[in-house]
A and B are shown apart, each in its own frame.
Chain A
Amino acid sequence: MQKYKTESTIIFWLHRIEDIIVTFLLSSILIFAVTQIILRNFFESGIIWADSLLRILVLWLALAGAILASRQGKQINIDVFSQFIPDPYKHHVQKLNFLFASVICLLISYYSFQFVSLEYETGGYAFAEVPAWVAEAVIPLGFAIMGMRYLVQTLTINKKSSNPEL
């Protein structure tokens, strides 16, 4: 029982951290975009690297959002056949789906990590003084988190909860 409680506390805080990151990224995009518009239209200036930064923030937000979506079981799927599967077997199919998603996410994480380490060695800048690999590192990181999440869901899914929020 104690163990279960600790687990759910950890999960609670993991979720709050994710929420905060998403909120922070969205607010940053709003603030930078509007600052840029004001600077351009009223002061005829602007931050040179703001557009690059905004585009990178969108990538980060996309991955953070995708992590949220996999936590809430909200990833887009087609799902026309599963309604024909009898209830007692549904969670087996779901298990397979999660396992598959997990393997693919971890593969993407692995290969994009190789790409990022290559970028780290060769250098190059995303904008201003920020190296490109920093902006790109979110890809292996995001997919690793999603892969782990799907793995946990694969292991914990059972007859009662067809879609655990983990």
Chain B
Amino acid sequence: MTTLLVVVVLISLALFGAPLFSVIAAAALYGFYIAGIELQVIGIELYRIAETPLLMALPLFTFSGYILSESNTSQRMLNLIQSMVGWMPGGLVIFAFIISALFTAFTGASGVTIVALGALLYPTLKKAGYSEKFSLGMVTASGSLGLLLAPSLPLILYGIIAQQMDLDVHFSINDLFIAGLLPVALMVIALSIYSVIKNRQFRINTETFDKRRIYSALWAMRWELPMPVLLIAGIYSGYFAISEAAAVIAIYVLFIEVLVYKEVSFSRLMRVIRESMAMVGSILLILAVSLALTNVFVDAEVPSILFDLIKDNVESKISFLILLNVFLLFVGAILDIFSALVIVVPLILPVAISFGIHPVHLGIIFLANMQIGYLTPPVGMNLFISGYRFKKPIAEIYSASFPFMLVLIIVLLAITYIPQLSLYFIAK
């Protein structure tokens, strides 16, 4: 009875905007208290942050992403694709999806793609003759495309959480990175097909092909182009550990943007450090207290109670997956991606595994759902960022991005029910 009351109070506090870490921490403390465990244990639990080797990647990639979005990298990327595919009907939009995905992968899931890249894409698309509504929807929907690509923070965070859980099925962070490739490719293809069909009746201005423009755009990006190569060669070949790759990239980005391009001044660099580390701090804090809460849950056998409950009501793997999608779309609509990861993954991962779902596949399903959650009210972050950046009412942004969301939902269904899309390259 008391427990029920505590749960209700805590959930209400969370919904009224209390810092989420304090709500989760309170739940964990209460859990330890009723289990008769000394509350000092909270110190041990929080210290686990210092016992997780992979975590170093989080601050470092966040830092690189923030620097990249402060400099003119997005402008140079856009120039490059315009010079290369501007002559091709539909080329601009297709490659806009691709660079948005790459940009999001590098900058994490903070919605920065819309601010840094979308803000340039939007006028470019309109100038090329795409309708305002289409351009707005395209830019908003692309803001979270690429969550499934390395080195996006949510993907790494999922790997870290799953590895903390002592599962029977083992996988590495690299498996997750590889698993995301086909699903993202599928999303880009589906969105491109939709965009081309949708705009076939419009007259889209194409630009003349000019080799010299390509050379100069490539030349302008000469320092940034090696970065994806460095990352892909480094991580996918296993030469660097992911946290080492994060350090190398951070140093490299710092060097080129501050000293070579000189686009981030020293005082702006201090602001970037402050803002990026505040974000890292708030994510790691939530992660730490959630790990503690997960232990409370495990001691109270919540995952197995949950499992029995689901097993009694859900017959097959397929119906479990349907239920999972509905549930996750709902979660994605009310929680931001980091909170959703740390709270929901420890609860559903054991259940999913016993239904025969590979943890890597679950990760991809989970994040694909969250990606769509960025576009759904009431909390869809992309809607708010677009609304704020382009000064449009949320309702207008929502209706503009709605068709893109439908396309993404179709892809989500494919990703969910065809595990090979995520696991094909891993099984070998």
Interface residues of A (CB under 8 A from B): 19, 22-23, 26, 29-30, 33-34, 36-37, 51, 54-56, 58-59, 61-72, 74-82, 85, 93-94, 96-97, 100-101, 104-105, 107-108, 111-116, 118, 135-136, 139-140
Shortest distance between the CB of B425 and any CB in chain A (Å): 27
A93 CB contacts on chain B under 8 angstroms? 16-17
The chain B residue sitting closest to A25, CB to CB, is: B277
Is B228 among interface residues, defined by CB-CB distance under 8 A? Answer: no
B167 CB contacts on chain A under 8 angstroms? none
Q: A58-B55, A111-B42, A115-B44 are in contact. Are A75 and B19 (CB under 8 A)?
A: yes
Report the separation of the CA atoms of residues A19 and B269 in the bound assembly, to the nearest whole angstrom.
12
Q: A55-B53, A62-B288, A112-B46 are in contact. Are A74 and B279 (CB under 8 A)?
A: yes
The chain A residue sitting closest to B280, CB to CB, is: A65
Report the separation of the CA atoms of residues A148 and B278 in the bound assembly, to the nearest whole angstrom.
18
Interface residues of B (CB under 8 A from A): 13-23, 25-26, 29, 39-44, 46-47, 49-53, 55-56, 58-60, 63, 240, 243-244, 247-248, 250-251, 254, 270, 273-274, 277-286, 288, 334-336, 338-339, 378-379
The chain B residue sitting closest to A90, CB to CB, is: B17
Q: Are B20 and A81 in contact (CB under 8 A)?
A: no
A116 CB contacts on chain B under 8 angstroms? 43
The chain A residue sitting closest to B245, CB to CB, is: A37
Q: Are B40 and A118 in contact (CB under 8 A)?
A: yes
Report the separation of the CA atoms of residues A153 and B281 in the bound assembly, to the nearest whole angstrom.
19
Q: Are B29 and A104 in contact (CB under 8 A)?
A: yes
B247 CB contacts on chain A under 8 angstroms? 29-30, 33-34, 37
Main secondary structure of the interface of B (DSSP, over half): helix
Give the contacting residue for B270; candidates A19, A65, A79; CB below 8 A: A19
A139 CB contacts on chain B under 8 angstroms? 43, 46-47
A114 CB contacts on chain B under 8 angstroms? 40, 43
Q: Are A62 and B49 in contact (CB under 8 A)?
A: yes
A101 CB contacts on chain B under 8 angstroms? 18-19, 22
Shortest distance between the CB of A21 and any CB in chain B (Å): 10
Report the separation of the CA atoms of residues A107 and B339 in the bound assembly, to the nearest whole angstrom.
22
The chain B residue sitting closest to A135, CB to CB, is: B50
Q: Are B280 and A62 in contact (CB under 8 A)?
A: yes
Report the separation of the CA atoms of residues A64 and B278 in the bound assembly, to the nearest whole angstrom.
8
Give the contacting residue for B281; candidates A68, A115, A135; CB below 8 A: A68
B19 CB contacts on chain A under 8 angstroms? 70, 75-77, 97, 101
Q: Are A22 and B17 in contact (CB under 8 A)?
A: no
Give the contacting residue for B277; candidates A34, A65, A115; CB below 8 A: A65
A64 CB contacts on chain B under 8 angstroms? 277, 281
Q: Are A66 and B18 in contact (CB under 8 A)?
A: no
Report the separation of the CA atoms of residues A35 and B284 in the bound assembly, to the nearest whole angstrom.
25
The chain A residue sitting closest to B62, CB to CB, is: A65
Q: Are B335 and A78 in contact (CB under 8 A)?
A: yes
Q: Are B284 and A77 in contact (CB under 8 A)?
A: no
Report the separation of the CA atoms of residues A100 and B26 in the bound assembly, to the nearest whole angstrom.
9
Q: Are B14 and A78 in contact (CB under 8 A)?
A: yes
Q: Which of B39, B63, B240, B274 has the most C-beta atoms of chain A within 10 angstroms of its own C-beta?
A: B274
Q: Are A65 and B244 in contact (CB under 8 A)?
A: no
The chain A residue sitting closest to B289, CB to CB, is: A108
Q: A81-B15, A112-B46 are in contact. Are A65 and B278 (CB under 8 A)?
A: yes
Report the separation of the CA atoms of residues A141 and B286 in the bound assembly, to the nearest whole angstrom.
18
Q: Are A68 and B248 in contact (CB under 8 A)?
A: no
Shortest distance between the CB of A117 and any CB in chain B (Å): 9
Report the separation of the CA atoms of residues A132 and B274 in the bound assembly, to the nearest whole angstrom.
28
Q: A33-B247, A66-B285, A97-B18 are in contact. Are A26 and B44 (CB under 8 A)?
A: no
Shortest distance between the CB of A110 and any CB in chain B (Å): 9
Q: Are B250 and A66 in contact (CB under 8 A)?
A: no
Shortest distance between the CB of A148 and any CB in chain B (Å): 14
The chain A residue sitting closest to B13, CB to CB, is: A100
Shortest distance between the CB of A25 and any CB in chain B (Å): 8
Q: A37-B244, A55-B52, A75-B282 are in contact. Are A23 and B18 (CB under 8 A)?
A: no
Q: Are B40 and A112 in contact (CB under 8 A)?
A: yes
Report the separation of the CA atoms of residues A60 and B19 in the bound assembly, to the nearest whole angstrom.
20
Report the separation of the CA atoms of residues A140 and B46 in the bound assembly, to the nearest whole angstrom.
10
Q: Are A80 and B281 in contact (CB under 8 A)?
A: no
Report the separation of the CA atoms of residues A71 and B161 in the bound assembly, to the nearest whole angstrom.
27
The chain B residue sitting closest to A65, CB to CB, is: B281
Report the separation of the CA atoms of residues A131 and B250 in the bound assembly, to the nearest whole angstrom.
30
Report the separation of the CA atoms of residues A74 and B20 in the bound assembly, to the nearest whole angstrom.
11
Q: Are B59 and A80 in contact (CB under 8 A)?
A: no
Q: Are A80 and B273 in contact (CB under 8 A)?
A: no
Q: Are A68 and B277 in contact (CB under 8 A)?
A: yes
Q: Are A66 and B281 in contact (CB under 8 A)?
A: yes
The chain B residue sitting closest to A84, CB to CB, is: B16
Give the contacting residue for B17; candidates A65, A74, A82; CB below 8 A: A82
The chain B residue sitting closest to A32, CB to CB, is: B247
Q: Are A108 and B46 in contact (CB under 8 A)?
A: yes
A72 CB contacts on chain B under 8 angstroms? 278
The chain A residue sitting closest to B283, CB to CB, is: A76
Q: Are B43 and A115 in contact (CB under 8 A)?
A: yes
Q: Are B14 and A61 in contact (CB under 8 A)?
A: no
B244 CB contacts on chain A under 8 angstroms? 33, 36-37
Shortest distance between the CB of A112 and any CB in chain B (Å): 4
The chain B residue sitting closest to A72, CB to CB, is: B278
